[in-house]
Structure 1
């Protein structure tokens, strides 16, 4: 056999192996991250005639609260009043199982933290049947840099920065919100837009200065996002005035990726500085989560197909691209049309608009771009 024949045989063998794998993997069904439909941290405390009865009541109450927390996680604040009212039997049928931690019982009392795992395939049809828009898109983390203006001196890493101290106490110290049970339930869940607040390590100091943060300097932003594997920075700039015990907190915040406009807000009141800081922080976090969902709610009446080329070095690389793209909520189907040693020509069917798809892919480090009329998809950092 000649050298040319050897090369052709190897190419044919490679193509045959690839075709076998690609055919096997061609279909697609969305698979959410294992945590997405698991609702944790539902704290229950019930009293009844017996511990068993108290436990039964706690589990029933817990699953209803868990469903409400999942509904609020998926939907916008404006649709809270549209939450479907389901029977206990209907709720139970949607749960694949639950876990218990911190369990304590007495003669007629039951205390525990409960976690419930819901069936996506039963939740979403209910939302769609009731015309309730929802979003399953999960963002890369966003790094929050709390800058405090102390009588004209801007502090990020340096002291005093009581503004950053409270952010850290909430996100590292676990000092979640007080008040209603629903607020506490919601806070216990994983965020669609995860938030990271740097603690001020030497690496943080080196990555970005306070001036770079205030002006969203490109190099500083890149440095700090690289450290935390984040997609963007949010600079939260605060000034506090206290006139005879009347507190006024002015804050402004802006994302480095400018996916949302700058926001300026004023808060007044609070018995302590920490009180007013906490009120502002929880408001900022809620706005961030709502803004992300609003941008990523899919119009499922819009069906699209896109022909794509992906350059690959091996089978594993393609399977990684395909697997990652398959887990994008907008993606409905992936079909392989043609393959060669270094390229896969495929088609992706998705709902919603192209901008949303590109954004969702970018959150998974996949870059979709138009190159002279042809769409290509590859992993971030590829040449």
Structure 2
């Protein structure tokens, strides 16, 4: 190699080394090499708590309202994280103890008079403190948000069985229901021709969860559930009763079933009772999820992932995303190269829980030759709304899935 070629090679080597060093410094500024923290803060924020208190002065009324709001927000948060069978065991804390759990609060809207305070408040709680509280009271909990669950509402009444027809009161109840702030969002099919072709009433009445696969593919979701409301004559042949059955198929193909007798129902109270049944169905679906995704504070596992390096902005976004991953306790950059980095992720759950939590932040685990790869996850699109009675020409995109087996920790 001649002198000029040697100098050229040296400059190239110095340039490459400087590039790697600069990227390392930029990454270190955002992600310190060592322990980082990812608390999934969003899960621990409770919004839109309505308060209304009266006292001798406006200041006293506001203090009372904030105290009542903190308690209501804590109760909602604990119910969000725990199964319904444990709600009777939720701790009743003193006001100062609740204050110790709080990170802060903000005011959405407020009105005051000389003696009254009305407001809508948001509260943010400290994740580590909430986890420790639940662990101290031996309460199992989950904190990973689910992808949407597609629900198929079947109504069985004296006039026959209804699924896709416009006069399905059970569908209408879910359509009008307020959006929940729990861990599991629900979604309804559009009730279009393509839905009827994907799942007929006759097939749905078999309640075989495997038959839900065409709908989950159409709506690009991993989970779906039959929610069946049955009005049947009472055993004493006087009046009628309402029965609820929920059959869910989860992302691994496993089936969960819950049934509940909601008691007597009169025709003029049907919508009201169906509304109650819809709440119970939502709770059952949430309980299925929480049971499968319980956090174990006494067990911490490490998952090593390889992250391809593209540009600085991608690193910034990845750091923000990791900070929002529920169940991810901490992470650290352990190796940095020119084209990829190696990161350790620490979690209190298994690889499947981590995969689901990452999916929610539009990240995915992909198996590599040795370690997992952490990659951006493209959002799967819902099918476009159709005009009535037209064929489905919009093919839905299939959600990417990652094998849930194997632990690279």
How far is the alpha carbon of 1:278 from its aligned partner? 1.6
Q: 2:246, 2:284 within 8 Å by CA — same for their partners in 1?
A: no
Q: 1:240, 1:250 within 8 Å by CA — same for their partners in 2?
A: no
Residue of structure 2 in register with 1:268 after alignment: 263
How far is the alpha carbon of 1:144 from its aligned partner? 2.4
How far is the alpha carbon of 1:129 from its aligned partner? 4.2
Determine which of 216, 231, 240 is the counterpart of 1:246.
Answer: 240
Residue of structure 1 in register with 2:150 after alignment: 143
How far is the alpha carbon of 1:79 from its aligned partner? 3.9
Residue of structure 1 in register with 2:84 after alignment: 77
Q: 2:248, 2:256 within 8 Å by CA — same for their partners in 1?
A: yes
Question: What is the TM-score when the length of structure 1 is the normalising length?
Answer: 0.77
How far is the alpha carbon of 1:163 from its aligned partner? 0.7
Determine which of 98, 103, 107 is the counterpart of 1:91.
Answer: 98
CA shift in 2, pair 1:167/1:62, >3 Å = same
How far is the alpha carbon of 1:192 from its aligned partner? 1.3
Q: 1:247, 1:273 within 8 Å by CA — same for their partners in 2?
A: no
CA shift in 2, pair 1:102/1:232, >3 Å = farther
1:324 aligned onto 2:295: no
Stretch of structure 1 that moved more, 275-284 or 55-64: 55-64
> Could you tell me how far apart the structure 2 residues matched to 1:252 and 1:136 are?
22
What secondary structure, in the 3-state scheme, does the structure 2 residue paired with 1:233 have?
Answer: strand
CA shift in 2, pair 1:63/1:147, >3 Å = same
1:113 aligned onto 2:120: yes
CA shift in 2, pair 1:296/1:254, >3 Å = closer
Residue of structure 1 in register with 2:334 after alignment: 337
CA shift in 2, pair 1:88/1:341, >3 Å = same
CA shift in 2, pair 1:267/1:109, >3 Å = same
Q: Deviations over 1:315-374 (max 9, x none)?
A: 433444444334333323323233334322232232233332233223333332444443
RMSD of aligned residue pairs (Cα, Å): 3.4
Aligned residues: 356
Q: 2:40, 2:323 within 8 Å by CA — same for their partners in 1?
A: no
What secondary structure, in the 3-state scheme, does the structure 2 residue paired with 1:137 have?
Answer: coil
Unaligned runs of 5+ in 2: 205-209, 379-399, 403-409
CA shift in 2, pair 1:170/1:341, >3 Å = same
How far is the alpha carbon of 1:6 from its aligned partner? 6.4
Determine which of 289, 299, 304 is the counterpart of 1:302.
Answer: 299
Residue of structure 2 in register with 1:191 after alignment: 182
How far is the alpha carbon of 1:48 from its aligned partner? 3.8
Give the 5 Å matches for 1:151-190: 154-156=162-164, 158-171=165-178, 190=181
How far is the alpha carbon of 1:114 from its aligned partner? 3.4
> Could you tell me how far apart the structure 2 residues matched to 1:320 and 1:314 are?
10
CA shift in 2, pair 1:251/1:327, >3 Å = same
How far is the alpha carbon of 1:149 from its aligned partner? 4.8
> Could you tell me how far apart the structure 2 residues matched to 1:333 and 1:48 are?
45
Residue of structure 1 in register with 2:280 after alignment: 283
